[in-house]
Structure 1
Amino acid sequence: MSTEPINVSIIFYSMYGHIHQMAEAVAEGANSIPGVDATIYQVPELVPDKVLKNSGAWEIKQAFDHIPEATPAVLEESDAVIFGTPTRFGMMASQMRNFLDQTGKQWAQGALTGKVGSVFASVGGQHGGHETTIRSFHTTLLHHGMAIVGVPYFEDRLNEVEEISGGTPYGATTVAGPTGNRTPTQNELEIAKTQGRHVAQTALKLSAEPSPVAAE
């Protein structure tokens, strides 16, 4: 088994800060596992600055402007990748889709085969597409040959019914509210931390196994 730390990359897109907060919680969970080094990246923005300023997102995004942008090469250097995206009509945001669409080289070379992949998301309402966003995201990860990890039900917070809360077995989620004025709750953040820990632990276990071999 290698003595090198397991590299976990958290790659996110956030417009109003919800996914950024969730990404920080995911990273906290991953970094709590000995032998794991988790780093946060964001994908490039596609919305013009003028539109961001008019929408009120400009000031919010300045809070995490220091976070470096991901490149496809980051995926190759990672043992596990946890993606975070807002929901756009039940699917990932176009900014994340644009990033993934640049990974054709990695797909052709099988560079991500056997790496752990996981997804978390935010939605506007309780029924705004938590599961469809994450499950549709999984399709891309499967095409890359990644091993998908979610949030098992040993995380009891998935069963919360006394308050509005995101969280699915497919991945952590947060409900942003129709105007984006709701911030992630403690329950949602704790689920995100669990996802980070579980992905990190899974990547550690897989690092002790032989690399996958393509069929001859």
Structure 2
Amino acid sequence: MSKVLVLYYSSYGHIAKMADAVAEGARAGGAEVDVRRVRETAPEEVARSAGFVVADHHPLLTDPNELTNYDAVIVGTGTRYGRMSSQMAAFWDTTGGVWSRGLVGKIGGAFTSTATQHGGQETTLFSIITNLLHHGMTIVGLDYAYEGHTGLDEVNGSTPYGASTIAGGDGSRQPTEIELGGARHQGKRIAELAGKVFG
């Protein structure tokens, strides 16, 4: 059985919900799954005044060496000006020691959330994927076998580079079933591939 890590940062709970859906899909794909979050780096007064919601139902991952315990790592974070959040970037900035030993050949994927339909989903996904590629990981996106890509009945965050959701400018829009379904689909695909590669 392969081991999959879903690693995320969530300011308002949207990414935490997507992380749970990714994990659900990965378990359906036959993997043993851990869901962990990275630490909050914003000052407490900033987080409080911005109304951050701490998704503390998953434990923190603070030691980057733990990444080597997994066959696949699926990374999720909201977008900040079209790139990954500083909280997630700060975590990856600590992975130099892991990089020197390598996560080469492990499976990677990315998922995100933005405020608006064109708020930077794809550039944020690429900013995550770039880190994973530098670690030598093989990337799996959200393939077009997922039917949610093709529907036009409602706005959704589907992109072939990874699952995503649209939160709305005030954060009131929650992930839809199409978006959660994409997260499950991607998680399952990654787990299935990890199972084939690592048995």
Query: TM over 0.5: same fold?
Result: yes
Match among 125, 148, 173 for residue 182 of structure 1: 173
Match among 40, 55, 78 for residue 70 of structure 2: 78
Residue type of the alignment partner of 1:33:
G
- Is 1:194 the equivalent of 2:172? no
Structure 2 counterpart SS, 1:125:
coil
Q: In the alignment, what sits opposite 1:94?
A: 86
- Is 1:168 the equivalent of 2:159? yes
Structure 1 counterpart SS, 2:145:
coil
Structure 1 counterpart SS, 2:110:
strand
TM-score (normalizing by structure 1): 0.89
- Is 1:50 the equivalent of 2:50? no
- Give % identity: 46
Contact 2:8 2:19 in 1 (8 A): yes
d(CA) in 1 for partners of 2:80, 2:107: 24
Q: In the alignment, what sits opposite 2:60?
A: 69
1:171-211 deviation per Cα after TM superposition (whole angstroms, max 9, x unaligned): 00000111111100011000000011000001011115xxx
Q: In the alignment, what sits opposite 1:118?
A: 109
Following superposition, the deviation at residue 160 of structure 1 comes to 2.1
Q: In the alignment, what sits opposite 2:195?
A: 204
d(CA) in 2 for partners of 1:23, 1:66: 11
TM-score (normalizing by structure 2): 0.96
d(CA) in 1 for partners of 2:80, 2:96: 23
Structure 1 counterpart SS, 2:33:
strand
d(CA) in 2 for partners of 1:56, 1:108: 38
Q: In the alignment, what sits opposite 2:101?
A: 109
Contact 2:77 2:112 in 1 (8 A): yes
Match among 4, 9, 16 for residue 12 of structure 2: 16
Q: Provide the alpha-carbon RMSD of the alignment.
A: 1.0
